[in-house]
Amino acid sequence: MGGTSYRNGTLDGLRGIAAVSVIFYHSILLDPRLASVLNPAQNLEPVDIPAKLALSIFSGANAVLIFFVLSGLVLRVSADRLHDGIWMDSANFAIKRLCRLYPAIFFALAFCFLTSWVAISLGSTLPHFINATDLSKLTSNAIFLDAKVNGATWTLQTEVVAIPFLFAAFMVSRKLGLAGSLLCLCYGLYALWHPSLVFNLTPLRGPFVAFMAGVVIADPRLSRPFFLVGGAWLSATVLALVALKMFIPPAPLEGYVLNVLLCTVLVGGCYRSAGTTGIVGMLNTAPALYLGKISYSLYLLNVPIIWVFIGLRPALGLMSIGPLWGGIAVGILVTLCTIPVAHFSEAVIEQGSIWIGRQLSIKPRRRIEPAPAEMTLAAAPA
């Protein structure tokens, strides 16, 4: 996605790296000995600093915020291609978005069920497996009442709840231009302290401003400032994101706003950058682009595979190499084991759902122009 096109290799690579970061973050945190490492680095013992640094590099919170900013950006660019009237545009936007999200979620929940059924058959009593074979809990998760089976789906619940707000923001931006985009961002910031502005919808209280930041990035009038965020500036932004997770407690809203701002600069810089070296070059390598292609399924499908490795860690000797290196090893194994399933899901489930979304979209009625002879007759005096 660059300019008016829909795809952008750098953003695909960023999405892929973010998805893998989530896997490593949760894999490292499997060991309960690392629970205290979530505190700011200045409150930790020196021996805990390496683990804190690893968790800051692979920060799940940073990755999820990047996902939300990317969604606002990509959906704004997609919505700009709709010009069939507000009602038809809104219907088609919702249809395509729901078709894009739901089938992969259903497949991921089915994979959770199948993996859990096999694990229980082999004697596992892990609560995660037991939850995933409870049909009532699976159904509740599938319709987004909660995310008790596949915890990763909470972000998709947020994406679904955000659909009408995003479309409204797109309409405001289309009518008012850059001022409208900035107005939406200010609205999102204000909603952090006044959640009634998003109807007190819990999933949107924090992420809403990240979606609005993505809407702003997509505005072509801001291409120049983000174009300048390249090279050393992108590297500095990444270092700032790591430092933020190292030293700043997650609770204050001011810290959250700074987190969103840094993610916005990173995504915007990647979107508009014309460079081929450094971070942009890395994100455009074949492995990063491939991970970006399967990132949605990778993000959803790694969850039950992590459950499998909870039980396998002792047998593989991963408990004896320390919580940090054991977690990194689990992250590598989970990623490698998830990739084949995610590849299938992307090729069959995701691409199929995109096709279904196009078929279900409402097609505008084509006005039938009269043939030239008919036009002549119609214009002739009686």
Q: What is the pLDDT of residues 264-279, one digit of tens each?
A: 999 999 998 877 778 9
pLDDT given at position 209: 98
Tell me: the pLDDT tens digits for 65-81? 999 999 999 999 988 88
pLDDT given at position 366: 57
pLDDT given at position 2: 37
- Measure the N-to-C terminal CA separation of the chain; round to a whole number of Å: 56
How far, in Å, CA of 194 to CA of 258, rounded? 18
pLDDT given at position 303: 98
Query: Which has the higher per-residue pLDDT, 227 or 372?
Result: 227
Residue 363: is its pLDDT beyond 60?
Answer: yes
Residue 375: is its pLDDT beyond 80?
Answer: no
Q: Are 13 and 284 in contact (CB under 8 A)?
A: yes
pLDDT given at position 84: 75
Q: Are 307 and 119 in contact (CB under 8 A)?
A: yes
Q: How many CA atoms lie within 13 A of 205 on its CB side?
A: 9
- Amino acid occupying residue 318: L
Tell me: the pLDDT tens digits for 127-152? 999 999 999 999 999 999 999 999 99
How far, in Å, CA of 179 to CA of 185, rounded? 10
How far, in Å, CA of 194 to CA of 192, rounded? 6
Tell me: the pLDDT tens digits for 107-132? 999 999 999 999 999 999 999 999 99
Q: How confident is the model at residue 7 (pLDDT cuts 50, 70, 90)?
A: low
The domain ranges of the chain are: 9-379
Query: Which has the higher per-residue pLDDT, 267 or 4?
Result: 267
Q: Quote the Cα angle for 76-78-82, to 5°.
A: 105
How far, in Å, CA of 217 to CA of 173, rounded? 12
Q: How confident is the model at residue 197 (pLDDT cuts 50, 70, 90)?
A: very high
Tell me: the pLDDT tens digits for 305-337? 999 999 999 999 999 999 999 999 999 999 999
pTM above the 0.75 mark? yes
Cα R_g (the chain), whole angstroms: 23
Q: Is the dihedral of CA 212, 181, 187, 94 positive or negative?
A: negative
From the list 341, 295, 339, the residue with the least C-alpha distance to 12 is 295
Average pLDDT, the chain: 91
Tell me: the pLDDT tens digits for 183-194? 999 999 999 999
Residue 169: is its pLDDT beyond 60?
Answer: yes
Per-residue 3-state assignment (H helix, E strand, C coil) for 80-125 = CCCCCCHHHHHHHHHHHHHHHHHHHHHHHHHHHHHHHHHHHHCCCC
Instruction: Kindly report the number of other CB atoms within 10 A of residue 35's CB atom.
Output: 9
Share of the chain above pLDDT 90, in %: 78
Q: Buried b vs exposed e over 142-160: b needs ≥16 C-beta within 10 Å?
A: bebeebbbbebbbbbbbbb
Q: How confident is the model at residue 19 (pLDDT cuts 50, 70, 90)?
A: very high
pLDDT given at position 273: 81
How far, in Å, CA of 249 to CA of 238, rounded? 18
Tell me: the pLDDT tens digits for 22-69? 999 999 999 988 988 999 999 999 999 999 999 999 999 999 999 999
Share of the chain above pLDDT 70, in %: 93
How far, in Å, CA of 305 to CA of 297, rounded? 13
Structure tokens belonging to residue 299:
């993000």
Query: Which has the higher per-residue pLDDT, 308 or 84?
Result: 308
From the list 11, 6, 20, the residue with the least C-alpha distance to 298 is 20
Residue 369: is its pLDDT beyond 60?
Answer: no
pLDDT given at position 365: 64
Integer angstrom CA distances of residue 228 from 74, 234, 285, 355 = 21, 10, 22, 37
Q: For residue 367, count CB atoms less than 10 angstroms from its CB and return exposed for 0-12, middle for 13-18, buried for 19 or more.
A: exposed
